[in-house]
Chains A and B, each alone.
Chain A
Amino acid sequence: MRKLLALAALVALVASPAWAGKPRDQAKAEVEFGISVAQKGLWREAIYRWQKAVQLDPTYAAAWNNLAIGYEQDGRFDSARDAYEKALKIDPNNTLIRQNFEFFKEINDRANRDTIR
């Protein structure tokens, strides 16, 4: 119940016209909301939120990272690769993003390997 209330408060905050701060702040709110819904398994909503976040602030590496994960879960491998590459271009030394990307590449390679002869 407490979690639901917190989620509702977050929705209200994001939707509020008062929340018209800097693009990074707005993007952060979207990212946080996306994380909270992804944790509940609502990946479509999460992807939508992270897409909004990268539109608001295209230099936000964490948003690109999360979006890439959302695309992975959705089976959109090309979009996931693009998003990971954008995240790493912005923040090349981020070991967490790099690790996510390595795991993704392993699965993506597996999907592309074993082509039918």
Chain B
Amino acid sequence: MTARTATRFASLALLVFAAGCTTFYEITVETPIKAKLDTSAFQRVLVVGFVSGGSEDLDANIETVRLLRSQLRTRSSLKVVETDVLPLAEIAWRQAKETGTPPGAAAPLAAVPPAGQPPVAGGLSAQDPGEVPGPIKDEKDLLAYEQVFANVEFWKKLGEEHQSPLIVTGTVLFTPLARSGYVQRDREVIDPYGRHQVESQRTWADRKGFSLSPKFVFIDGRTGTVISSETFHEETLYDSAQNTPPLSSYFELMDRLIPRFLGTLSSQKIRGTRVLLR
């Protein structure tokens, strides 16, 4: 039970007491929350791949595709299309290279076409971008790859290959964090009378962890156009002495995001308690 739930129960108990002789009946309600995106036109969903960056300890593209597919299989009415995961960063880089604005060449952001329009040749760089894309370290690096989502022809063709599904793609940045600051810790102390007491103490501590910033892009597989996108950000920090594997942190952070991601595609029910009156 969370502190919030406990507070609610306490307040409800207080209200019940305050209500005196009013006849009431507590009842559980399940409020349906509609999906934010109307997916009625689709029977299939294709989680195709993500442009990922940050920590090199895990492949955020593959992990994100696997996780979202498994969640959608059990918690959505859409049929999940099983295909190989696309190396989207490479595809984006290749597409951009063809148009003369490869991400590695630090193309000016103004050259990135707006959503719904195919990429145009322009913003040519004098630099030779090389044969492979450079590592994606931060949000700024990711931005340069975003033009892939506006490539209507690419997504339309992909949609045709998989019977016009709803395509889920986007970017995922999973980066290590290190922060120092005051943390509050509880400490048991024994007072002069021999009684055990808990004392809160603020201590300076070095902490490390990870941040996860996914942007989910939803594309209509029939037309190749972006329907919508959603951006999230979550962080977790641990004591510096604690050795938490990156994959564990990744799943911990994704666990927090998954309900919101699913809420976009499928309706949910929220359980709560109400009081019926006579």
What are the interface flags for B230-256 relative to A under an 8 Å C-beta threshold, 1 for contact and 0 otherwise? 110000000000000000000000000
A18, CB-defined interface residue at 8 Å: no
Contact A116 B37 (CB under 8 A): yes
Q: Which of B16, B272, B275, B276 has the most CB of A within 10 A?
A: B276
Which of B11, B30, B275 touches A100 (beta carbons < 8 Å)?
Answer: B275
Q: Can you name the residue of chain A whose Cβ is closest to the Cβ of B264?
A: A116
Q: Which of B17-25, B118-126, B194-202 contacts A (4 or more CB under 8 A)?
A: B17-25
- Cα–Cα distance between A104 and B272 once the two chains are bound (Å): 9
Contact A66 B31 (CB under 8 A): no
Contact A114 B15 (CB under 8 A): no
Distance to closest chain B CB from A52 (angstroms): 15
Contact B229 A117 (CB under 8 A): yes
B70, CB-defined interface residue at 8 Å: no
A16, CB-defined interface residue at 8 Å: no
B185, CB-defined interface residue at 8 Å: no
Residues of A within 8 A of B29 (CB): 69, 72-73
A35, CB-defined interface residue at 8 Å: yes
Contact A35 B276 (CB under 8 A): yes
B192, CB-defined interface residue at 8 Å: no
Residues of A within 8 A of B22 (CB): 94, 96
- Cα–Cα distance between A96 and B11 once the two chains are bound (Å): 10
B260, CB-defined interface residue at 8 Å: yes
- Cα–Cα distance between A61 and B231 once the two chains are bound (Å): 43
Chain A, interface residues (CB within 8 Å), range: 20 to 34
- Give the interface SS of chain B, mostly helix, strand, loop or mixed: strand
Which of A39, A62, A110, A117 touches B228 (beta carbons < 8 Å)?
Answer: A117
Residues of A within 8 A of B264 (CB): 116
Residues of B within 8 A of A111 (CB): 33-34
Given the interface contacts A32-B278, A38-B276, does A115 sit within 8 Å of B24 by beta carbon?
no
B274, CB-defined interface residue at 8 Å: yes
- Cα–Cα distance between A74 and B274 once the two chains are bound (Å): 14
Given the interface contacts A73-B29, A115-B36, A116-B36, does A31 sit within 8 Å of B228 by beta carbon?
no
- Cα–Cα distance between A111 and B34 once the two chains are bound (Å): 8
Q: Restricting to B172-189, which residues have a CB under 8 Å from any CB of A?
A: none
Q: Which of A39, A75, A115 has the most CB of B within 10 A?
A: A75
Residues of B at the A interface (CB closer than 8 Å) are 11-12, 15-16, 18-19, 22, 24-25, 27, 29-34, 36-37, 228-231, 260, 263-264, 270, 272-278
Contacts A114-B263, A117-B231 known; 18 new A-B pairs at CB < 8 A:
A32-B278, A35-B278, A38-B27, A73-B29, A74-B32, A75-B34, A94-B22, A95-B15, A96-B16, A97-B277, A99-B11, A99-B15, A103-B273, A104-B274, A107-B270, A115-B36, A116-B36, A116-B230
